Structure formats: structure tokens, C-alpha cells
Amino acid sequence: MDFKTAPEIIKAMKEKVSLGAFGYEWPQADYFNAVADWYEIEHGYRPQTNWMIFTTGVVPAISSIVRRVSHIGDNVLVQEPVYNIFYNSILNNGRHALSSNLVFDGEHYSIDWTDLEEKLADPLTTLMIFCNPHNPIGKVWTKAEVQKIAQLCQKHHVVLLSDEIHSDLVGKGQGYTPAFSIEAKSNVISLVSPSKTFNVAALHAAYEEGHDWLKKLKQQLNENFDYISQFIQENVPEVKVVSGDATYLM
């Protein structure tokens, strides 16, 4: 969307920016607790933090899950019309996209349950990607619908992957039902993200500037390397420096 993100996020990012270092980090307990607190406050369900795993994006997660839980040639079930990038994750991994099309009555879309169950019952169908709420139709599935889909998936040994990236943006009507909150959840994976909610989806790298900075960095690294090599040679002769031309690692 085109809205500026929340002031709290800008403040936190300014603090991070003024720190100036963005190397590897790994989410700690406070990160997972924040996700659980968010879901409890916004959606009334608290996911268990020890069931959570961090990924760098919903689409990368979908692609990994497609590879992990299905096999080449399997059917991955979707509900057309649906977010086009699902197809990239399915087809680029050598799986077959099988749609149980949503039925449009001129005003609303709904599920053809008979068709859905037939397609879930196909032995080649091992994974269903469910869009909850649904992009592009904006539909918030009811608790009964989420429950029924999860039960059908369980009955037919299909893993249910529920993409819930739009869940915080339910502006009207009933709230959404997280797939992890329902009973038949042993075969369910919910994908959640702050990227749509807070308009932070494009926080990725930039290559346009920084050539001069990099040149100076490399000069400094070379000087550091020479300095340490000399120091070790003079003071710790039993340690041998293996010289190399690349990286800041020694």
C-alpha cells in the first residue's frame, strides 16, 4: 500500500540505523513472544512460540514448504482466482497446480465443497495452499469454513498451508480465523507476516550507491590484515597466518 508505516516502526528503525551495523542476527525469544502477543491481542488466539519458525518472507516459506512436504509431480491444490505467485512456488518446483475454482454467483465467491473434496481425495494431492483471508477476492473465511477445510485436509492426508499475510487488514465484518487456532491443526501450517500490515514488504538491499565506501573499506581491511599478520609473526610465531585475497575473515 502507499501509506507510511507506523511511527513506532520508524522510531525503531531510526535507532537501528543509528547503530549502523546490520550483520547476521537470529530472532530471540522476545521476537516470538511479540508474534504470540500480537495474535492474542489482535485475533484472540495465542500461538505456541515453540511451534514457530522464522523465515525471510511468506513466498520463500511457501516455496520451501512445497519442496518439504510434497514430491515432484504431486498436486498442490489452490482455489482460483488466487494470488498469482503461488503458481511460481508450485510450478518452479516441478509440482502440478490443481485448482478447486471458487464459484462466483455474480456477487460473492464460495467454495464448491464437493469439487474440493474430490480434488483433496486424489492421492496425488499432498498439499493445499489456502489464502486466508483470500487475495484477490478479499474474502474472510468463516471459522466453520476454515475448520471444514482443515478437517477435509486431515481426512485426505493433505497438509494445509494457510497464507495469512492479509489477516491484520480485516476492516469490516467478522474477524478472521487463524488456521492454527482450530481443532484439526496437526496438519496445518500458518504463515503470518507484518509486511502487508505495516507496509514494510520491500525492506531489502540497495546496490545503487556505496562504491567509494566499499573501496575505502577494502583498503582498511587490507591494512588491518597486514597489521595483524605482522603482529602475529612477531608475537605468536607458532601461529601461521594463511594469507588470502578475499573476505574480512582471517
Ligand X SMILES: Cc1ncc(COP(=O)(O)O)c(C=O)c1O
- Candidate list 59, 150, 179, 188; residue touching ligand X; CB under 6 A: 59
If binding is defined by CB under 6 A, does position 57 make contact with ligand X? Answer: yes
Site string for ligand X, 191-230 (x = CB under 6 A): --x-x-----x-----------------------------
- Candidate list 65, 128, 163, 188; residue touching ligand X; CB under 6 A: 163
Residues whose CB is less than 8 angstroms from the CB of residue 169 and which lie 6 or more positions away in sequence, other chains included:
133, 196, 197
- Cβ closest to ligand X, residue 138 vs residue 175: 138
| Minimum separation from the CB atom of position 240 to ligand X (A) | 46
CA 92, distance to chain mean position in Å, is: 18
- Judge contact between 196 and 161, C-beta under 8 A: no
Radius of gyration of the chain (CA): 24
Distance, in Å, from the CA atom of 38 to the CA atom of 193, rounded to the nearest integer, reads 11
- Cβ closest to ligand X, residue 124 vs residue 137: 137
- Judge contact between 75 and 119, C-beta under 8 A: yes
**One-letter amino acid identity for 173?**
G
Site string for ligand X, 123-162 (x = CB under 6 A): --------x---x---------------------------
